[in-house]
Structure 1
Amino acid sequence: MATDVKATQKTDVKAIKQEVKELFGLVPTWVNEMPDSALGGFWSLMRDFQLAETRIPNKYKELIGLAVSGATRCRYCTLFHTEAARLFGATDDEIAEASMMAAHTMGASTFLNAQQVDYEQFRNETLQAIAYARQQQQGQAGTTPRPNVDTTAHA
């Protein structure tokens, strides 16, 4: 029985690598280095979630991936997600904003954790602040929307 399972795995791995090649034009070296037992799950998630059309547009998923990659300091993922974000239409400005959002979040997280801010107090204050902001938005719902103001200096 173990032989049958192993034969099936080899067939699946071959089919997976063919799918990868069809999508990317090659099978990257790191894919060939991945253990056969992990490749199926990894590829399924990449193909059916990361690269597929889901509720979150692909551009946004790749910008999220870029932000996480920057925070975890993975240059491999940073390169992949930057180029994939561009493939899905992200501009250099959007890429820079995603990177800055990651930096801002990491900075705030570092401060809050290092200061050992009380989580329950933080939670309560956050929910209170969001409820207030939501109430302000709803109060303005019947008014004329405020235009986006360009704060950059005009030449």
Structure 2
Amino acid sequence: MHPISYSGEIYMTRQEVYAEIKGMFGLVPKFIQLIPDSSLEMEWQLFKRVQFDEGAIPNKYRELIGIGIAAVSKCRYCVAFHTVAAKLNGATDAEIEDAIHFAKSAAGWSTWINGFALDFEEFKKELETMAAFIRSQNS
């Protein structure tokens, strides 16, 4: 029998969610085991959708973005997860290194620009001017 939520919707039991996870990964990772019953199915459905459904950005590139975000936020668990996932989606060591280097550069420039509290509207105008110049050079 399926439990009924407060909204009256039928949802998966912990055992059903675990069976699905084991079918995909061969085990239920500890970080999933720690999710409370009240949100387990929701978290699992969201995890599958975000991590595995192909969106406008192919999974390989999403995982490379994930590596960069994880590196900047200093989450070693996330770096490990997204590195493995990127490789499973075909990323090379060189692409992973490039993603990390790009994240380092972006974080560094963010620190620099924010540290000087540059005027945001002026910054956007400069970007527009630079982009227009580049477009004119490429046409």
TM-score band by shorter chain is: 0.7 to 0.9
Q: Quick check: 1:88 aligned with 2:89?
A: yes
Distance 2:66 2:134 in 1: 28
Distance 1:125 1:36 in 2: 51
Select the structure of larger CA radius of gyration.
1
In the alignment, what sits opposite 2:126? 125
Change (3 A) 1:135 1:38: farther
Q: Quick check: 1:110 aligned with 2:111?
A: yes
Deviation of 1:41 after TM superposition, in Å, equals 2.8
Number of matched pairs: 134
Distance 2:70 2:57 in 1: 18
Deviations 1:93-149 (A, max 9, x none): 000000000000000000111111111111111122112212222x1xxxxxxxxxx
Distance 2:125 2:104 in 1: 25
Give matches, 1:8-27, under 5 Å. 8=10, 11-27=12-28
**SS in structure 2 at match of 1:39:** helix
Deviations 1:6-45 (A, max 9, x none): 7x55x44332222211111100111011122332332222
Q: Structure 1 unaligned segments of length 5 or more: list them.
A: 140-155
Query: Hey, which bits of structure 1, 4+ residues long, moved more than 3 A?
Result: none
Distance 1:105 1:79 in 2: 21
Deviation of 1:53 after TM superposition, in Å, equals 1.7
Q: Quick check: 1:32 aligned with 2:33?
A: yes
Deviations 1:35-93 (A, max 9, x none): 22332332222212321222211100100000000010000000000011011110000
In the alignment, what sits opposite 1:42? 43
In the alignment, what sits opposite 1:5? 5
Percent of residue pairs bearing the same amino acid type: 40
In the alignment, what sits opposite 1:101? 102
Q: Structure 2 unaligned segments of length 5 or more: list them.
A: none
**SS in structure 2 at match of 1:21:** helix
